[in-house]
Structure 1
Amino acid sequence: MSYSLRYESPRHEACCWMPSHLRLFIAIDPPRETAVEAGRIIERLRRSGAEAAWVDPARMHLTLHFLGNNVDESELHGICVAMDDACRHLPPFEIAFGGVGVVPDPRNPRVVWLGVCEGQEPLGQLHAGLGERLAPLGFQPEARGYRPHFTLGRLRRGRPGDPPASQALVAEVLALAEVTAGRMRATKVALYSSRHERQGIEYDRLHAASLRGGIEAS
């Protein structure tokens, strides 16, 4: 199989250029209902007064593998082949999103996340399958185990007066521990690049691989 890669905007309009080195990651796109619910959660957390950089929920991705900040364009073909091969062996599956937490712990919250409450096992299998095929290309998985989640915000380093706000944030997080945030049937995995523009970070989809396990080819 040959690949003709086109650099796409989020609206899928082909751009006229592609940088020679890319910041790449492989991810699943969440449904709109999850982005909407994430927006509501972020607004609730924002009212705690904690100093944080909150994400734009419309631009969230469920990351499977981060490939690096400086990946050579020549690696794209091999990455696409690895993605297609891994996805060919797994069928589509259900994912449900929910539960808010912090890392590393509530006493020292640095990152706020929205988790996955159904579909962890097939997500783990997909992550492992991709990792096995990406490793020979030089892309090694993180040493820590894979825990699928969306990052909602990153707290800024504490200053005098911050602890009460952080405590208020943690109280809200604990109240959202059982919140639900939509569900989806995962059928595709996408390769994205990200780049810094004046208006912020832009994401470009370079390739999509379909989950085909158990599906008869037409």
Structure 2
Amino acid sequence: MARLFLAISLPAKIKEKLKSLQEDLAKTQAHVRWVRPEGIHLTLKFFGEVPEEKTTQLIKAIEKVLEREKPGLLRFKVKDLGVFPNPRSPRVIWAGLEGDLVKLAKLQRHLEEAFIPLGFPMEKRAFVPHLTLGRIKSPRKRNVLMAKVADYQEKNWSIPDDIEIEEIVLYESKLHPEGAIYTPRKRFPLT
């Protein structure tokens, strides 16, 4: 059994800039468990614990969708900062994306549909492409954090660098006390 998810990895220079953002937000001393910068990614589908034989079926399903769809390069920029579910009771701090979001949503939907026959039901919530930066653990200094997030939103915060995504990755996630460790199991080129 392996804990698996399908995701888009980000270039190191983008992760560095997101790390700087996290460090600035952390100055609020709000009770947040920050995602390790090297682990920041865009999740396409979380599978949970998957037996080895089913992993092989997942890989085949992904390859079939990509062969049929031929998505090509995906281009994005990191833009916007927000929280889920809402600013009154925030639980997750995220950075948003702009760019090939329609193309990405179509690819994600076709992948979701391909996983249904393998016993992985379609996600009930709408696909909202985002990069999780941290999880708020308690109300301590939450109002200070939300004021800082609001400042970033007013400034229309973004990372100006273009991101070109050439592949999606099936990752294995191993949980550790200091945070999850993600290991690529298989890379799937988009071109």
User: Quick check: which has more Rg, 1 or 2?
Assistant: 1
**1:61 maps to 2:37:** no
Any gaps of 5 or more consecutive residues in structure 1?
Answer: 1-20, 213-218
Number of equivalenced pairs: 186
Residue identity matched to 2:85: P
Partner Cα distance (1:166, 1:76) in 2: 40
SS of residue in 2 equivalent to 1:176: helix
Q: CA deviation at 1:157?
A: 2.5
Partner Cα distance (2:176, 2:46) in 1: 20
Residue 74 of structure 1 corresponds to which residue in structure 2? 53
Match runs of 1:1-218 below 5 Å? 21-68=1-48, 70-88=49-67, 89=69, 90-158=71-139, 162=140, 165-177=141-153, 178-181=156-159, 182-197=161-176, 200-212=179-191
Partner Cα distance (1:133, 1:98) in 2: 30
Partner Cα distance (1:149, 1:64) in 2: 10
Q: TM-score, normalised by structure 2?
A: 0.91
Residue identity matched to 1:183: D
Any gaps of 5 or more consecutive residues in structure 2?
Answer: none
Q: TM-score, normalised by structure 1?
A: 0.81
Contact 2:6 2:171 in 1 (8 A): yes
Residue 13 of structure 1 corresponds to which residue in structure 2? none
Residue 3 of structure 1 corresponds to which residue in structure 2? none
Partner Cα distance (2:75, 2:179) in 1: 32
Residue identity matched to 1:58: E
* Mean Cα deviation higher: 53-62 or 180-189: 180-189
Q: Alignment identity in percent?
A: 30
Contact 2:81 2:94 in 1 (8 A): yes
